[in-house]
């Protein structure tokens, strides 16, 4: 098998398509950096960090907000760009469709299933949260769809270690993310049927009534870190970047990491402030490290 540093053909350098793509990649780096700084200073006001802040605008239903910011971009715009934009540049091969399917599984989940099934404490979020999710998603998911819609991968690439390891990490990360979000969801049982299993350490922090309070999660990765859902998604995007071997993957992973590192740090501090008996050795995002 021949090893190519860039295992696919892409836009010819110097063309307008080339500059649009890589100009937006540079913008992606800048947005990721700005996100890192902004989120590190103050977490976005939803979930545990909800607060009254008129700068974030009027409130809209939380489920609708997540559908607008994630399904509109990650399902509809993503598919339109993949199938229609610059389609004459390359004939799509099986790998293009594999990448399309993998990303779509994520966005179908994140944009529809997740907002329709999770048990949020608050029914609404400020519209700034919707816009703050929507605009970066337009940028990064456009780039990702553009890359996987156009790149013509080598015929030997399905056997390339980058592809194989990347796909493995993507699947492992996806499973961890889903498992962790589902475990969090299960902390809030229907009122009157609370499940006091070993996972639950009593309601606290947030004034719940047994079905919408906050609890200390236990079990699996929750024994090591505060945010296994973020950790799983981070692993997922590292795998994606490796498998697609793309700069669009790099900037998307950096953007997500900017949120995950900053918000998990705030979440860990929040747990420590709210629960006296919060396990002291738990890290925020990366077991034993961060
Ligand atoms: N790609 C990205 O840039 C990005 C950015 C952010 C999030 N995400 C993904 O989106 C998903 C949700 O993110 P998130 O920030 O909303 O995660 P989160 O703060 O962990 O909340 C997830 C869900 O669990 C509930 N929950 C959290 N901690 C709880 C506790 N101790 N006790 C009871 N319920 C608890 C939350 O309720 P409340 O809403 O009432 O707090 C919410 O319904 C995750 O899969 C994450 O990876 C991706």
Shortest-distance Cα residue to atom 33 of ligand 1 = 214
- CA of residue 139 to ligand 1 center, whole Å: 22
| Contact present, 115 and 75 (Cβ < 8 Å) | no
- Integer distance in angstroms from the first to the last C-alpha of the chain? 39
Q: Is the pLDDT of residue 197 over 60?
A: no
Q: Is the pLDDT of residue 104 over 50?
A: yes
| Contact present, 45 and 56 (Cβ < 8 Å) | yes
Shortest-distance Cα residue to atom 43 of ligand 1 = 120
- CA of residue 181 to ligand 1 center, whole Å: 7
| Section 99-121 average pLDDT | 97
| Contact present, 252 and 137 (Cβ < 8 Å) | no
Position in ligand 1 atom list of the atom nearest CA 255:
3
Secondary structure of residue 59 in the 3-state scheme: strand
Which element (helix H / strand E) includes 9?
A: strand 8-9
Residue 187 CB less than 6 A away from ligand 1:
yes
Task: Select from 114, 163, 128 the least CA-distant residue to 3.
Answer: 163
Q: Which of these ranges, 45-59, 191-205, 208-222, 231-245, has the smallest mean pLDDT? A: 191-205
Residue 251 CB less than 6 A away from ligand 1:
no
Residue 233 CB less than 6 A away from ligand 1:
yes
| Section 3-28 average pLDDT | 95
Q: Is the pLDDT of residue 189 over 80?
A: no
Q: Give the pLDDT band of residue 190 (cuts 50, 70, 90).
A: low
């Amino acid at each position: 098998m021949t090893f190519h540093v860039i295992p696919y053909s892409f836009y010819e350098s110097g063309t307008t398509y080339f500059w649009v793509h890589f100009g937006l990649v540079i913008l992606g780096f800048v947005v990721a950096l700005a996100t890192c700084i902004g989120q590190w200073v103050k977490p976005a006001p939803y979930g545990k960090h909800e607060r009254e802040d008129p700068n974030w605008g009027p409130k809209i239903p939380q489920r609708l907000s997540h559908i607008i910011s994630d399904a509109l971009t990650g399902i509809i715009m993503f598919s339109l760009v993949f199938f229609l934009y610059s389609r004459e540049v390359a004939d799509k091969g099986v790998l293009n469709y594999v990448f399309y399917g993998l990303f779509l599984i994520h966005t179908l989940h994140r944009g529809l299933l997740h907002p329709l099934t999770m048990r949020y404490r608050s029914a609404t979020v400020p519209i700034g949260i919707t816009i703050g999710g929507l605009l970066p998603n337009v940028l990064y998911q456009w780039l990702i769809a553009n890359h996987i819609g156009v790149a013509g991968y080598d015929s030997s690439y399905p056997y390339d270690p980058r592809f194989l390891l990347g796909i493995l990490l993507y699947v492992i990360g996806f499973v961890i993310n889903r498992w962790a979000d589902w475990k969090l969801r299960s902390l809030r049982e229907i009122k009157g049927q609370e499940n006091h299993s070993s996972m639950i350490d009593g309601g606290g922090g947030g004034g719940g009534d047994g079905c919408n309070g906050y609890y200390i999660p236990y079990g699996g990765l929750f024994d090591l870190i505060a945010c296994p859902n973020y950790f799983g998604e981070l692993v997922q995007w590292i795998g994606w970047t490796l498998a697609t071997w793309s700069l669009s993957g790099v900037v998307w992973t950096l953007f997500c990491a900017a949120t995950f590192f900053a918000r998990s740090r705030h979440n860990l501090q929040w747990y420590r402030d709210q629960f006296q008996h919060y396990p002291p050795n738990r890290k925020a995002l990366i077991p034993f490290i961060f």
